[in-house]
Chain A
Amino acid sequence: VNDTAELGATALTPDWLEVQYRTHATALLRLAVLLTHDRATAEDVVHDAFVSLHRRGQTPRPGAELAYLRRSVVNGVVGRGRRTATAARARLVPVPDTPSPEVDSLRHSDHRALAGAVRALPDRQRACVVLHYWGEMTDAGIAEALSISPGAVKSHLHRARATLAGRLENLR
């Protein structure tokens, strides 16, 4: 997949959008779940990504569809907590004080320690870790998805690894 996700000149149609959904939505949803640790929020993010693409009215360049949608998903997650908090401060959205059921269930899984440590990472560090280890993306691809420099990706990954190693060491 070419990570340069520029829009093409082809008009977008509903059928084309559905094809993209059938092709990429599961991968995008899994990515969103890993980034948000919440299935409902993840579905909202994927929903917004496809609706945003529809609103563009043009398809991405052929081959860049997944990269485009993935970047939209990542951008929809990074900073989402802050936006949610701000919305709540404007008295529009209640902020839950307890973890979602999905998060809670992870506590009882075999991977709860690691999942908890990843969940506690800052947004961009978490995104870098997920895209690197699960998405198997290059630093350049992650940088493009997050709109940051490759150097910043390396820095985020380095800090995230150090944090995760430290937290897991404490648990052992």
Chain B
Amino acid sequence: MTYDLDQELRTAFDAEVAGITASDELWERIRATAETVPEGRSPRRPGRGSVGRRAGWYLAAAAAGIVVAAAVAITATRHEPGVTTNPGPPPTTATTSTPPTTAAPGPDAGPASEESPPGTTEPPPGGGDSPAPTAALAVLRDGRMVRLDLAAQRVGAEYGRLYSPDDAPQPEERTANAIGDIDVSADGSALMYSTVGEPAMGTAYRTTLAGFARVGDQPVWTNTSHLAISPDGRFVVHAYDDLLVSAPDGRELSRLDLPTGSDYPDALWWSPDGTRIAYRTTSYHTNGSVAGRTIRVARWDGTALAADPDAPPRAGAAIRWAPDGGLVVLPGDPLLSRTSSDGRWTLVVAADGRLHRVGPDGEDTPLFAATRFQYAEPIDIRAGS
């Protein structure tokens, strides 16, 4: 018997909506909302269209409050011969790690103080990802870390709305302006980061660093929630709906394959040799739960190399390039992870706030408790496990 898919679809759709009618109650809801919103106001439909208008907000917020804190001096705690083969810059900036008592809240803390919406310290249940961090680490080539903290001066608490149907302040919908990604240029002179303050949108900034001091922020791309700088610093892969490879000055060089219209790229990893990019795409159910994830690999010029369309829903929060060129996809859902420039290890801040180093053969070494990013002791993450 021939199965008529087209007819089956029409029949199923008709059956699904049979009896559904728009109610007077819904009209009353619409009317009540409309009465509170003046006509002729410029609409702010949530979505990609408003990012340009929001760029000024982002820039203002960044200029007002972002602190690139000199985070952790990686002075070797184990003074073993050979460990200091890459000494890094002079220790003048490195020895003053952020005092724990003044450290800004980390990912678990959210926007500081009384303006935090109630219950915001609770992670979303089950199907969602962990909360987006408002502070993040970048790892310099010499092993030092730079910390970017958006919440330090309560930028997030003062800024932005989600899904707001009008322009009136709605404090309960304020968002913690969170970090999508953060990366440091190969020479350590510039830091790039993306924000994800509005729903799934963001702006990428480039910050010039003088030592560890932030010189200034410059928006580079809008519609960018994730980015990663190639190890040699020649390219930046960045993503929102599209996945692009650009020069650091913003020139687009290539586009990477996104086979379906609803797979959103949300994690990017360069191979140590800077020729390939592993990236994860996620599709969502309408209610926001993850529908599926795919891990793909492509050359930087956009040539697709491989895809695993059956990645587990929570896979790919951390990916490492193995020395043999293969990929190791880690399960779990850490808040953030960064792989060293040589691909030898991945630094993972787990959801419990603990810092781990994961080596090339999968060994997981807890480094120290970094809850709320209050660093207890500096440690040399270049040392062997």
Does B239 make an interface contact (CB < 8 A)? no
Q: Within B82-116, which residues are at the interface with A (CB < 8 Å)?
A: 110
Q: In the complex, are the beta carbons of A122 and B178 less than 8 A apart?
A: no
A68 to chain B, nearest CB (A): 12
Known A54-B34, A82-B284: A122·B260 in contact at CB below 8 Å: yes
- The number of inter-chain residue pairs (CB within 8 angstroms) is 255
Q: In the complex, are the beta carbons of B22 and A29 less than 8 A apart?
A: yes
Interface size on A, residues (CB 8 A): 84
Q: In the complex, are the beta carbons of A125 and B260 less than 8 A apart?
A: yes
Contacts of A1 in B (CB 8 A): none
Contacts of B29 in A (CB 8 A): 43, 47
Does A106 make an interface contact (CB < 8 A)? yes
Q: CA of A93 to CA of B287 in the docked complex: distance in angstroms?
A: 10
Q: CA of A91 to CA of B134 in the docked complex: distance in angstroms?
A: 11
Contacts of A122 in B (CB 8 A): 260-263, 283, 291
Q: CA of A56 to CA of B127 in the docked complex: distance in angstroms?
A: 36
Contacts of A164 in B (CB 8 A): 5, 9
Binds A, one of B41-49, B300-308, B349-357: B41-49
Q: In the complex, are the beta carbons of A47 and B128 less than 8 A apart?
A: no
Does B40 make an interface contact (CB < 8 A)? yes
Closest Cβ neighbor of A43 among chain B residues = B26
Contacts of A154 in B (CB 8 A): none
Closest Cβ neighbor of B27 among chain A residues = A21
A55 to chain B, nearest CB (A): 5
Contacts of A100 in B (CB 8 A): 287
Does A52 make an interface contact (CB < 8 A)? yes
Does A61 make an interface contact (CB < 8 A)? no
Q: CA of A33 to CA of B12 in the docked complex: distance in angstroms?
A: 13
A and B contact pairs by CB, cutoff 8 A, 29 listed: A17-B34, A21-B30, A25-B27, A26-B20, A33-B17, A34-B17, A36-B286, A51-B34, A52-B43, A55-B37, A79-B47, A83-B162, A83-B288, A84-B199, A84-B287, A89-B129, A89-B132, A91-B121, A91-B176, A92-B120, A93-B162, A95-B125, A115-B12, A122-B283, A123-B261, A124-B261, A134-B9, A134-B14, A172-B3
Q: Assuming A82-B264, A91-B123, A156-B261, what are 10 further A-B pairs, CB within 8 angstroms?
A: A30-B17, A55-B37, A82-B200, A82-B282, A89-B132, A92-B120, A95-B124, A96-B289, A120-B291, A125-B262
